[in-house]
Structure 1
Amino acid sequence: MNSRRSWDARDSSLTLEQLTALTATGESETQEFKRTTGTRKQAAKTVCAMLNQRGGRVLFGVTPDGDIVGQQVVERTIEEVSAEIQRIDPPAFPTVERAQVAEDREVIAVHVGRGPLPPYQYRGTAFLRVGNTTRAMSANEYNRMLFERMHSHQRWENQPADGWTIDDLDVAEIRNTVAEAVHGSRRSCCAGWGCSATASCSVRRPCCSGTRSVSSLRCRSACCASPVSEG
């Protein structure tokens, strides 16, 4: 889809009165001012950060102090801003509003809510808002956010099965699934010891205890073949 086309479909107007009310609150975690679209790369980082948190708005044509100065806006202007936003992954679809502040000058407002699929990245880096600043997300923060997304209430296995009872469960399928999981786990524990995947194993093996001392447990996985001396 043409970037301009997708943005134009979302364009709406912002009155000067509404714009004045917004700028009066200053910059914050959910709002940032940019004097011109020449800073669109920095703005895209901020949009990315807002998607990862509470959402927010970037205003082009407003100074850091909150003065409404506007800028000339042509078709190319919107396309350039859109191109940077499209570098965010997963894709983001902001709302764009434009306010006429002088005969030949406008303010562009790019608004996003909290994204449904965090962590979002811009040009391969995830960002966060800290007060009225934007910074790169640490590896720990990224992994935590990714883990939370993967285990959120939206996952299908965490959804209630309304209208289903225990009588609807497929016992054979459950047993097969458990057997596959156990078999896969046993193969993993012995793989590091160079075991064959054909013979059965009923000797005491270090791979069952996680140490090199002889374990009281017995590894009966099909992946263990060569015996270990119990000297």
Structure 2
Amino acid sequence: MNSKEYKNQQDHQYCLEETETIELKSGIAELEDAVIDICALLNNKGGILYFGIDPKGTVKGMVIADSTFRKVAQKVRARIKPDISLSYNSENINGKTVLKITIPEGTNKPYFADGQAYIRSGTESIRMPVDDLKWLIRQENENHWDNRPCLDATLEDINPEEVMRFLRHMQDERRSEIDVTIPFEKALERLNLLSSGVPTNTAILMFAKDPQRFIIQSEV
């Protein structure tokens, strides 16, 4: 065993306990429950799920073939909506092979497993409370609206002086390193307020010469 392999094993051993972002499964027989855990992690901060390690952190190992990856991926794809893309890898820990699934934080929340949303609560995956689900849906809808291009708006509808004033304020507060001398359209790009060259709804709310023209009852 070389030093790199030893260090990697040490790192894994250090993490071999269930947390809010790490879920351990003894084997593929627990796939049904694992789908729920994946759903919960997507709705939370993301995380890692291991097959071949029991909940106490003991490495059991497992036989992994191409069909194993397909079986897990197909089950996840069939049961979790909206569709997601996960990373599946086999790893050697303490001389035994385990299956590691890397789950990113979801970008299209909420996610549902068999029509039910789940969330992490400590080391457990629980049904998402109704109020939490309503809040999450509202937040996601607002975020999506904020980032959408504003229909019929162009850069000519933006007040460059307002953009520069905002940048100077951010710089004074040391919250931005954007050069205040760059063209305002470049500043909007750096602020992620352009979508394919079109000002987003947020850009219109913040910097438009006449935001009410585009967004009824808009107010900053």
Task: Check whether TM > 0.5.
Answer: yes
- Which of 9, 14, 29 in structure 2 is aligned with 1:24? 14
Q: Relative to structure 1, is the Cα distance of residues 21 and 102 closer, same or farther in structure 2, using a 3 angstrom cutoff?
A: closer
Q: Partner residue of 2:133?
A: 142
Question: Any idea what the Cα deviations from partners look like across 1:27-86, whole Å, max 9, x if unmatched?
Answer: 100001101011111111111111101100001111111111210011221111111211
Q: Which is higher, the Rg of structure 1 or of structure 2?
A: 1
- TM-score, normalised on structure 2? 0.63
Mapped to 2, the partners of 1:170 and 1:67 lie a distance apart of 61
How many corresponding residue pairs? 160
C-alpha RMSD of the superposition: 3.0
Range with greater deviation from structure 2 (81-90 or 94-103): 94-103
Mapped to 2, the partners of 1:29 and 1:142 lie a distance apart of 19
State the secondary structure of the residue aligned to 1:63: coil
Q: Partner residue of 1:49?
A: 40
* 1:17 Cα offset (Å): 4.5
- Which of 90, 93, 96 in structure 2 is aligned with 1:98? 90
- TM-score, normalised on structure 1? 0.60
Note the residue ranges of structure 1 that are not aligned, 5 or more in a row.
1-14, 179-231
Q: Conserved in 1, the CA contact under 8 Å of 2:59 and 2:94?
A: no
- Taking only the aligned residue pairs, the percentage that are identical comes to 22
Question: Any idea what the Cα deviations from partners look like across 1:164-183, whole Å, max 9, x if unmatched?
Answer: 7537x796x88xx79xxxxx
Q: Partner residue of 2:194?
A: none
Mapped to 2, the partners of 1:21 and 1:32 lie a distance apart of 16
Q: Partner residue of 1:214?
A: none
Q: Conserved in 2, the CA contact under 8 Å of 1:71 and 1:107?
A: yes
State the secondary structure of the residue aligned to 2:45: coil
State the secondary structure of the residue aligned to 1:106: strand
Mapped to 2, the partners of 1:94 and 1:74 lie a distance apart of 18
